[in-house]
Amino acid sequence: MADLTKALGISSTGMQAQTVRLRVIAENLANQDTTGSAPGADPYRRKTVSFQTKMDAALGTDTVRVKQIGRDKADFTVRFDPANPAANPEGYVKLPNVNSFVEIMDMRDAERSYSANLSVMQATRGMLTRTIEMLK
């Protein structure tokens, strides 16, 4: 039974990590058009999530955790829009380095990972239920 409980804990930490990833993706998508607020100011910079394995003392095994939420160092693109309040003296506005196609692909990957962890959790719960019924 301890191994089944451990499997539940491992799946849970995986789901938590993917939840953070999905939240960051949603924030990126929500800000894909957010320019700076002053002339020449930098726009929204895409956030990234990196993971690490970390020993969970309670479970006695390695689990996945969010290592950090970083910033994408990719260059900003510019667009000529002299009427925009964020335009520099030449009339160019810096645009966020968010690519909605990349974000959607990351979202699909996070969704699959979350779903896989959920499936493991559901199977483990079923095994625990059957074990308890057998012990009655």
Contacts of 47 (CB under 8 A, 6+ apart): 24, 27, 28, 69, 70, 71, 72
**pTM (2 decimals)?**
0.86
Q: Per-residue confidence of the chain (136 residues) as pLDDT tens digits?
A: 678 888 899 999 999 999 999 999 999 999 999 999 898 889 999 999 999 999 988 888 899 999 999 999 999 999 999 999 999 999 999 999 999 999 999 999 999 999 999 999 999 999 988 988 998 8
What's residue 4's pLDDT? Answer: 83
What's residue 37's pLDDT? Answer: 87
Instruction: Give me the residue spans of the domains in the chain.
Output: 2-135
The angle that helices 100-135 and 2-30 make with each other, rounded to 10 degrees, is 160
What's residue 5's pLDDT? Answer: 84
What's residue 20's pLDDT? Answer: 97
Residue pLDDT, tens place only, 63-73: 999 999 999 99
What's residue 136's pLDDT? Answer: 81
